[in-house]
Chain A
Amino acid sequence: MNLDSLLSFQGHIVWLSITLAAYVLSLILYQKANSHPALHPLIISSTLIICSLFALDVVIEDYLNYVWLLAFLLGPATVALAIPLYNQLAVLIRMGWRVVAPIFIGGTIAPILAWLSVYFFDTPVALQMTVLVKSITTPLAMGTAEAIGGIGSLAAVLVVLTGIVGAVFAPLVFQLAKTHSEMAQGVALGTVAHAVGTSKAISISETCAAFATLSVCLNGIVTALMLPLLFAS
């Protein structure tokens, strides 16, 4: 083993360890803060790692090379989303269009409003394409953003921030919109605020969580199918 490959091996071990440690720390903090959306583990762990990269003067390309295994495993983890979708199929069939319609409408309104808000300020096309995916679940959003000429990593950040905003404002919005049905609250949270919204839905009730999960899967799949057909570059 030459010196270069030894250093590279050490880099893999060190940065995988730092990433795992940051993840575990952020999970503990999140649990201690009663799952407050502003302390989402993704924000805390990523901030810790970015600070470490700056402190140790490591460039992002090297970091990505060291932790490629984690980035790769996102793919198989996303494939596993078929399981919650399968588990909710009976609900989907029973409720039919009454559950599909709000998911479809919300899933259409959210990207259009987001796109309009950046379109009118003369922003780069890559940014416009990126905000289109902000309401779908992160792994699908990244792949979809890249397929339509957006920026995958920026999409991931916008998606997480969107989820946090949705989860924080949900109680006030449901009060103003007089949305008392837990099923309806679940659909709104899952459609607009994806997985972070679902974690908020879990704190409301099991019914709310089930409908949020269904909405995340359905909206994510429909959006990820439709956007590349409309905007593929």
Chain B
Amino acid sequence: MAQFSLGLCLLVLIFIASQQVTSYFQIKLPPALLGIGVLLLLLLTLRKVPMFIQTGARPMLSHMVLFLIPAIVTIVAHFALILEFPMVLLLAIVGTTVLSLFITAVISQKLMGKYQ
């Protein structure tokens, strides 16, 4: 429990610091992206993932869906926009996703197929 708390505190501290830096310098990047860079640099410096970071991060990653729920629920505020363009959104979500998946799969197979 102590290791989890310590790991969670580090993640929270890195995120808050990233928020402050992006806000102070008016950097147009998601603060969490800067946080990923900071933690990656820390891990590269340590050349391993310390146990307390691993213990703090594992439940955060495996239950990330829980933290996304408030954002998804906010969709009720955008129902009008979605209902205004239902077919366009269907095309954007289904059509272009399948096509992108096909193209990426073909390219990946060509470049990486022989490594299998």
Chain B proximity of A212: nearest CB distance (Å): 11
Answer whether residue A139 sits at the interface, using C-beta atoms and an 8 A cutoff.
yes
Say whether chain B's binding surface is mostly helix, strand, loop, or mixed: helix
List of A residues within 8 angstroms of B15 by Cβ: 75-76, 78-79
Q: Which of A70, A83, A105, A138 lies in contact with B54, CB distance below 8 A?
A: A83
Interface positions of B (Cβ within 8 A of A) = 8, 11-12, 14-15, 18-19, 28-33, 35-40, 43-44, 49, 53-54, 56-57, 60-61, 63-78, 81-82, 85, 88-89, 91-109, 111-113, 115-116
Q: Which of B32, B66, B72, B85 lies in contact with A156, CB distance below 8 A?
A: B72
A–B complex contacts, Cβ < 8 Å, 13 sampled:
A42-B68, A46-B72, A63-B73, A75-B31, A80-B57, A80-B60, A113-B96, A131-B92, A143-B31, A177-B105, A177-B106, A187-B112, A224-B30
Answer whether residue A9 sits at the interface, using C-beta atoms and an 8 A cutoff.
no
Answer whether residue A176 sits at the interface, using C-beta atoms and an 8 A cutoff.
yes
Q: Which of B11, B30, B99, B108 lies in contact with A80, CB distance below 8 A?
A: B11
List of A residues within 8 angstroms of B109 by Cβ: 177-181, 184
List of A residues within 8 angstroms of B29 by Cβ: 143, 147, 224-225, 228
Q: How many residues of A are in contact with the other chain, CB < 8 A?
A: 102
Indicate if the CB atoms of A193 and B44 lie closer than 8 Å.
no
Answer whether residue A85 sits at the interface, using C-beta atoms and an 8 A cutoff.
yes
Answer whether residue A56 sits at the interface, using C-beta atoms and an 8 A cutoff.
no
Chain A proximity of B10: nearest CB distance (Å): 9
